[in-house]
Amino acid sequence: MTTTDSDPVSPAEAGSSATPSPTRPSLAKRLLKIALALLVVLGGAYLVWRQREDLATAVQELSLGRVAIAGVLAVVGTMLIGQIWVALLHGMGIRPSLRDSHSVFYVSQLGKYLPGSVWPVVAQMQFGLRWGVARRTMLGANILFMGVVVASGIGVGALLLPWSSPDGLNHYWWLLLLLVPLAVCLHPRVVPGVLDWVFARLGREPLGVRLTARGLFTAIGWAVLAWVAFGLHLAVMMESYASVGLIEVAAATGGMALAWAAGIAFIPAPAGAGVREALLALTLGPIIGVPEALTVALASRVLLLLADVVLAGLGAVAGRRTSA
């Protein structure tokens, strides 16, 4: 049965919208939270330190000012990506506080830099238990999240890239063929229905909840805003090599959306490493040159890593304060 925004949802399956009465955590739990926050900050610092040479090269070639502006836009885009997950949780009747949900999402995102790309999903499934949400329900939310990101990325790429250059249609006409299947896959009942079918074959209980249309369309709206932010993030750096107008911004937005979607779909690559850069070189190369496009792509990767680290650090601190 499909739920609506006003339908009651079982706390055991989807989490209760009511806020439980706070209890003071034990000293062991408080120390664990502090240790987690330190681990996130130190782990993020190590990831940034490993990319220090790429960052220095980007600053030297693109100028500190452009890199700084692109970095701010990377943070904005990453925050908008987080809102996709929050919108989907709300659409499934799972309503933790905004601070708590952001804390969980941003901290878990550091797991995508490990091979396999499944660690954020595992972490979020574990975090969901403290909201009273079953693991299979959190798994469904995460599959929906990845589905919305991938489908919206391909969709934005399909709508923008064919018109982003004089011969764009010749190169990207095939993307237009994906729009109808993508629209079908994004129907609120499709992914939960498929998951219920899989769980039934495995002898497991069904999800027990459905995604509302409002939750889905809100998530798609946040995704589109995120692609625009990331497109501007690339366009700022592209201006170091060529004049940038609306067509170039469209190419950057469509290219980044498609590259991000491909990076998620290629599970073995940590955070889509290599896949994203290759697609950005392909889409931006005709505009600013392939070597320059690779420089922009590498700079983008470092800045997005920095954005993840900053937001994860803030999320870890916020999560510790929430439970204090």
Residue 11 lies in a domain: no
Residue 130 lies in a domain: yes
* Long-range Cβ pairs for the range 285-288 (8 Å, 24+): 286/165, 287/165, 287/238, 287/242, 287/248, 287/251, 288/238, 288/241, 288/242
| 282-302 residue pLDDT tens | 888 888 888 888 888 888 888
Q: Report the range of poorest mean pLDDT among 23-37, 87-101, 147-161, 210-224.
A: 23-37
Under a CB-based contact definition with an 8 Å cutoff, are residues 256 and 234 in contact?
yes
249-to-32, 137, 159, 160, 276 alpha-carbon distances in Å? 45, 38, 13, 10, 17
| 222-246 residue pLDDT tens | 999 999 999 999 999 999 888 888 9
Residue 299 lies in a domain: yes
Provide the pLDDT for residue 29.
52
Q: At what angle do helices 98-108 and 119-128 cross, to 10 degrees?
A: 150
Residue 254 lies in a domain: yes
Looking at mean pLDDT, say which of 64-78, 131-145, 174-188, 279-293 comes out highest.
64-78
Residue 297 lies in a domain: yes
Domain range enclosing 275: 25-323
Q: How many domains does the chain have?
A: 1
Higher pLDDT, 219 or 105: 219
Residue 129 lies in a domain: yes
pLDDT at 13 over 50: no
Provide the pLDDT for residue 115.
58
Residue 13 lies in a domain: no
Residue 55 lies in a domain: yes
Provide the pLDDT for residue 106.
86
Angle at 266 between CA 155 and CA 67, to 5 degrees: 75
Would you place residue 2 in the very low, low, confident or very high pLDDT band (cuts 50, 70, 90)?
Answer: very low
φ/ψ of 210, rounded to 5, equals -130, 155
307-to-73, 189, 218 alpha-carbon distances in Å? 9, 33, 23
pTM beyond cutoff 0.85:
no
Rounded CA separation 126/319 (Å): 14
226-to-6, 134, 153, 231 alpha-carbon distances in Å? 28, 29, 10, 8
